[in-house]
Structure 1
Amino acid sequence: MTEAVIRTKPGMTSVKDMPVLQDGPPPGGFAPVRYARRIPNKGPSAVAMFLATFGAFSWGMYQVGQGNKIRRCFLGETSETRDSS
């Protein structure tokens, strides 16, 4: 559709002669824009995160130590088999 039909003005007219049709804000205005920085208070504290990290690290090192014991046991068995032959 042309603007002439939409604005109910017959025939081809100049843009300058056409009535202005402009959108405006809704009644009561727009809702306010929230721009404030909001940092939630939820989540673990720094002490809890430190303890969790320390616990995970300790458990990992324990697992490494257990793996080293098993590896040493296997190395001892292989060296005993080489010595006996």
Structure 2
Amino acid sequence: MNEPIQAKGFDQYGHAQFDYSRDQTTYQAQANDSLLGIANQYNVGLQQLRFYNNIDKHTFAIRAGQTIHIPSAQVIIPLGK
């Protein structure tokens, strides 16, 4: 099993910074996609996918054309994020 993924730090806006180079899978969001649907498609936890891609925790909103990084291992989410 792959080593868990941790944020390298946070930018001035509070967005987690990750090294996406270890991930080989990305998904280009289409119209009417939902983050839950993408999480289910790739068998990834919804909150892990949200945090990994810096998606708003209140709306889970994504837009058509947005690149969604699919984590290759469990994402460590700090408390409160």
Say whether the fold is shared (TM-score over 0.5).
Answer: no
More strand by share: 2
Report TM bin, short chain.
under 0.3
Structure label with greater radius of gyration = 1
Task: Output the TM-score relative to the length of structure 2.
Answer: 0.15
Which structure exhibits the higher relative contact order, with contacts defined as CA atoms closer than 8 Å and separated by 6 or more residues? 2
Query: What is the TM-score normalised by the length of structure 1?
Result: 0.14
